[in-house]
Amino acid sequence: MKARLATVWLQGCSGCHMSLLDLDARIIEIAQLVDVVYSPLVDIKEFPEDVDVTFVEGAVNTAEDAARLKRIRECTHVLVALGDCAITGNVPSMRNPFDLQQVFRRAYIENVAQPSQIPNEFIPPLLPRVLPLHAVVHVDAFVPGCPPPPEAIALALTEILAARIPDVHQVTRFGK
Ligand code: SF4
């Protein structure tokens, strides 16, 4: 039996997903344990129902992120915060000490070579503060690091799956 695995990229740099890919050939071992049902690494648009494990990279920056995360929580048995942005806010939360208008002025007017303006459409409204995942939904497990080492990601996944797939340690050497 394979578990249904999803990975999600909110407001992060994608480094946590790159760390996952750094498992290289060991991904083949993990592929024996899971079906990837949603991820930026595959072309599936809608987050599905009944996902066993979801790893979420990045912090919550917009109301859209928060709504997306709540939907993911509803559809996921084990939700994992992947990396320091998801766990603490980390890099995206560097804007938190500043007023939003200050942030916009700095990003769109003061730091650009060409005359510009603050966009007022097609940009999801920012929350007043960037939030870690657990400030919005219940999180079941945390994998720290910026990014987390690939071995830590594999170990966390293996141990979570071990509760759902009895022979998991016979398939992969992670977690031994
Ligand atoms: Fe990037 Fe580090 Fe944030 Fe991961 S934790 S998304 S590597 S900045």
If DSSP states are collapsed to H, E and C, what string results for the chain?
A: CCEEEEEEECECCCHHHHHHHCCHHHHHHHHCCEEEEECCCCCCCCCCCCEEEEEEECEEEEHHHHHHHHHHHHHEEEEEEECHHHHHCCCHHHHCCCCHHHHHHHHHHHCCCCCCCCCCCCCCCEEEEEECHHHCCCCCEEECCCCCCHHHHHHHHHHHHHCCCCCHHHHCCCCC
119 part of a folded domain: no
Ligand 1 pocket member 89 (CB < 6 A): no
pLDDT at 113: 86
Nearest CA to ligand 1 atom 6: 12
Dist. CA 58 → ligand 1 center (Å): 7
> If 0-12 CB within 10 Å is exposed, 13-18 middle and 19+ buried, where does residue 2 land?
middle
106 part of a folded domain: no
Ligand 1 pocket member 146 (CB < 6 A): yes
Dist. CA 14 → ligand 1 center (Å): 7
Ligand 1 pocket member 132 (CB < 6 A): no
pLDDT at 166: 65
110 part of a folded domain: no
111 part of a folded domain: no
Among 143, 138, 135, 137, smallest CA distance to 160 is for 143
Which residues span the domain enclosing 26? 3-97+126-172
Q: Determine the Cα–Cα distance for residues 37 and 3; give it in Å rounded to an integer.
A: 10
**Domain total of the chain:** 1
Ligand 1 pocket member 85 (CB < 6 A): yes
Ligand 1 pocket member 143 (CB < 6 A): no
Q: Which residues contact 124 (CB under 8 A, 6 or more apart)?
A: 62, 63, 64, 65
Q: Which residues of the chain have pLDDT under 50?
A: 175-176
10 Å Cβ neighbour count for 117? 9
Ligand 1 pocket member 90 (CB < 6 A): yes
Q: Which two tokens stand for residue 57?
A: 């990279």
Dist. CA 16 → ligand 1 center (Å): 6
pTM of the model: 0.90
Look up the CATH number of the domain holding residue 136.
Answer: 3.40.50.700
pLDDT at 53: 97
56 part of a folded domain: yes
Q: Which two tokens stand for residue 147?
A: 């990014």
93 part of a folded domain: yes
Q: Which two tokens stand for residue 56?
A: 């979420």
65 part of a folded domain: yes
Ligand 1 pocket member 61 (CB < 6 A): no
90 part of a folded domain: yes
